[in-house]
Structure 1
Amino acid sequence: MKLSNYENAIAKHYNSLSLSRFPLTCWDFYSKSFDKFRLTLSDANLLNRIVKDNKWNTTWDYKEELTSDTVIVVTDAQLSIVFASKNMVKMNGYTPNEVIGNSPKMFQGKLTNEKISKEISEAVKAKQPFDKVILNYCKDGALYKCHIKGFPVFDSNGKLINFIAFEKIAA
């Protein structure tokens, strides 16, 4: 009998408080945000290591790109992919491990505009930045328009070290 009085008193007390109840789904939001943060941090650490190891002569701040839907791809001077941000999977289905060691041409196919591809190639050969929209292929063969802003990266001696591209789905 006394236990039910205690339970009633506790219930009355909690009902008098202005507590907000959150559905269990709020943990899902936290989990998704935490996973994105974890992947972004991992990408930032890998990218910072490339910058340091290759002695990039740059003042770029990648925080905004790393925390957005922008995919970052870095190649060596011979155009072999050495880094791809983990959010690439969302854009085209490829994981970074699947693209590292390949050329960015792996995303092109028979419907890719040859003129735009040639313009990008000429900018790369001239060690110049470029800003183009090109038709690329997803891992499953689906097409997507990719807006690419590419930049050559030099070391403190002016030697071409890498290329970096910031990519987004184009409207």
Structure 2
Amino acid sequence: MNDPFYMSCLDIYTSYGEDSQIEKLQEAIALSKPNVMPLLSWDIYMSHYKDKIEASVKLAELRQVLSFSKKFQWQNDIETVFNKKDYEALIITDKNQKIIWVNNGFTEMTGYSKTFALNKTPRFLQGESTDNKTKSRIREHITKRKPFKEILHNYKKDGTLYKCEVQVIPLYNKETTHFIAFEKQVV
């Protein structure tokens, strides 16, 4: 057998073996060779598995937001909102912009823990390079209780500057009680 992959495996395994043992192992491996799964199949499987995990995480996040929706009696169609949004981080604030919940994606994107973010406003992510005109537009949209999308410069916990696309939707029952922000890092 002259397949380099199998020979290198045999070299490692049989470096201390006798010639007759090596020949027997080569024959056994040659007989089992058709049963080896190609690496390409594994790549396809792993890609599918990753997609399944991401869908499971999104479903868990949706369920969490739906539990808030039930608690606060929001009239928004939360499921439709989720189906239309592409995001990494989720933030729910009260009407005064105090954070009441963030998802794990928030921590992955910013480096800040969930517990650190609670009861703060998302402004703690802003800094010197955050454009004042953008901040002013955001304040205006929030004051008017209107949905909006903006791109602003935020800072991660380690001080790294990043561009963040923020889509904010007011959540309401008789009046606006909370906001949900769908955020993702953009280039």
**Is 2:76 the partner of 1:58?**
yes
Which consecutive residues of structure 2, in runs of 5 or more, have no partner in the other structure?
Answer: 1-26
For the aligned residue pairs, the C-alpha RMSD in angstroms reads 3.2
1:69 deviates by 4.3
Whole-Å separation in 2 of the counterparts to 1:105 and 1:160: 20
Q: Look up the match of 1:46.
A: 64
Whether the aligned pair in 2 keeps the contact of 1:43 and 1:86 (CA below 8 Å) is no
**Contact 2:99–2:119 (Cα < 8 Å) also in 1:** yes
- Look up the SS of the partner of 2:159 in the other structure: coil
Distance in 2 separating the partners of 1:114 and 1:10:
68
Q: Write out per-residue CA displacement over residues 69-103 of structure 1, whole angstroms, 9 at most, x where no aligned residue.
A: 43221111121111212111232112322212110
Larger Rg over CA atoms: 2
% identical equivalent positions: 24
In structure 1, list runs of 5 or more residues that go unmatched. 1-7
Paired position in structure 1 for 2:148:
130
Q: Distance in 2 between matches of 1:128 and 1:56?
A: 15
Pairing partner for 2:122 from 104, 112, 123: 104
1:167 aligns with 2:175: no
In structure 1, the residue corresponding to 2:96 is in which secondary structure? Answer: coil
Match of 1:115 in 2: 133
> 1:153, 1:160 within 8 Å by CA — same for their partners in 2?
yes
Q: Secondary structure at the match of 1:45?
A: helix
| Post-superposition offset of 1:40 | 3.5
Larger helix percent: 2
Q: How many residues align?
A: 160
TM-score, normalised with respect to structure 2: 0.69
Distance 1:57 1:74 in 2: 16
**Residue of structure 1 aligned with 2:37, choices 20, 25, 28:** 20
